[in-house]
A = this chain, B = another copy of it.
Amino acid sequence: MLEDVRTDLRGLRREFHRCPEPGWREFRTTGRIVDELERIGVDEIAVGRECLATDARMAVPDEEALEPWLERAREAGVGEEILEKTAGGHTGVVAVLERGEGPSVGLRVDMDATAIRESADPGHRPADEGFRSEHEGYMHACGHDAHVAMGIGTLEAVKRTDFEGTFTVFFQPAEEISGGGKAMAEGGYLDGVEYLFAVHLGLDHPTGAIVAGVQKPLAMAHITVTFEGASAHAGKAPNEGANAMQAVATAIQNAYAIPRHADGMTRVNVGSIHGGTASNVIAEEITLECEVRGETTALMEYTRTELERVLYAAAEMHDCDVTPRVISESPSVDSDPALRDLVGEVARTTQCIHEVVETAEFGASEDATYLMERVQDDGGLASYVLVGTDHPTNHQTPTFDVDEESLEIGVGVLTEAILECGHRRL
């Protein structure tokens, strides 16, 4: 079925790999996706603002952080029309294929990179073969370059079949910072989608393996917390300040000690801390970056509520104010068994697939869950599919890479699954 597909999956993946862009700054990536969509020919292309609910975006950087990336995209030849639609942190694309009567099927892929400096060492294939990151300090270290290529490839493949219905591909921005899922879920194009697939490569599954539908992605919230007290001279007037340092120490100790929950796994972390001015001054302002997670959305919310109680009480104890702000979050949503089974059956007959795993725990967070939740709330089915790939080192490390053979496998199994949705009407 893939024989007619003209998309150069490997070349396309390498091109995206060379130009990694972090969340809400995927201006160039957006432009290149649009180019490919126009090449293939689809019925509708919605770019940036056209496919996002602006107010539902989270973790959007400020203009100063966005601007250089927009400028770089402009210099790389991205057209003004695209830049206008995506400016101010509105990256992302939705492509729609209308093929008559039939089910509405969706595929969601993500497209952002992370702030990791890619290895230049020999033995790291992108370095050896000339497609190492050209945006120094940033890298596609989680395979989203490959996800974009697979999204484009699957679109072309579906187009070349006798699929009847509507097929929509969601190129979602800002997954790494859990910023884009909600905005795309509420952007309008998900309405009416009856079957939704999300896809991820690797995660310790080898080339030739498929996980038909993952479960238990962790619900997550990333929270920035600022304590504000009052400074004073630590030698002359230690009693006059309101010591943010003491408030913060109390908060951290008690945050990690939030009771474990009978219903399942929770997590809490204070990952960074910055504040105070000098050794002889009572600290006035300190900022923490925190996160809470849970095996279910309820467990995450339990942990968040407890964290907030800890924060407010610690501030009060030291006469400080505290402001926790949720930067981004995502719920926990399981794959539907029925759609998972469909993927499993299709995978068992797909070329090059040696191992089909019914389900696996995700073990991390993903904001594709916003899209899955919305489809399920409207009565549809969703499954988060893992396509195995041999990766030499862990995700999010400077020597991460994927086995490009898995690109065709992914396009193959997704295309078959999408077609099967039409045949079966679960």
Q: CB within 8 Å of B: which residues of A?
A: 218, 220, 222-223, 233-241, 243, 245-246, 248-250, 252-254, 256-257, 259-263, 265-267, 269-283, 286, 289-291, 293, 302, 309-310, 313-314, 316-319, 327, 363-365
Contacts and interface: CB of A to CB of B under 8 A. Distances in A.
A88 to B, nearest CB: 24
A359 to B, nearest CB: 18
Contacts of A253: 246, 249-250, 253-254, 257
Nearest to A222: B279
Closest 4 A-B residue pairs measured CB to CB?
A272-B276, A313-B317, A234-B269, A256-B257
Contacts of A278: 271-272, 289
A54 B238 CA distance: 34
Contact of A218 (B223, B235, B249): B235
Max chain B C-beta neighbours (<10 A), residue from A223, A239, A286, A290: A239
Contact of A317 (B238, B265, B277, B309): B309
A258 to B, nearest CB: 8
A238 B250 contact: no
Contacts of A293: 235
20 contacts: A235-B365, A236-B363, A236-B364, A238-B267, A245-B252, A246-B256, A248-B249, A249-B252, A256-B259, A269-B282, A271-B279, A272-B276, A272-B279, A273-B273, A273-B275, A273-B276, A274-B274, A279-B289, A279-B290, A309-B317
B260 A273 contact: no
Contact of A316 (B250, B290, B316): B316
B269 A364 contact: no
B283 A276 contact: no
A279 B272 CA distance: 6
A260 B266 contact: yes
A280 B276 contact: no
- The prevalent SS among residues of A at the interface is mixed
Given A252-B249, A253-B250, A316 B319 contact: no
A134 B249 CA distance: 40
B279 A283 contact: no
A262 B236 contact: yes
A262 B237 CA distance: 5
A273 B302 CA distance: 28
Contacts of A261: 238-239
A241 B289 CA distance: 17
Nearest to A223: B279
Given A234-B291, A238-B267, A246-B256, 10 more contacts: A236-B262, A236-B364, A248-B252, A248-B273, A260-B260, A260-B267, A272-B283, A279-B289, A309-B319, A313-B317
Nearest to A244: B273
Given A239-B261, A313-B313, A363-B235, A280 B274 contact: no
Nearest to A255: B257
Contact of A239 (B218, B235, B302): B302
B257 A257 contact: yes
Contacts of A243: 256, 259
Nearest to A257: B256
A280 B290 CA distance: 7
B271 A283 contact: yes
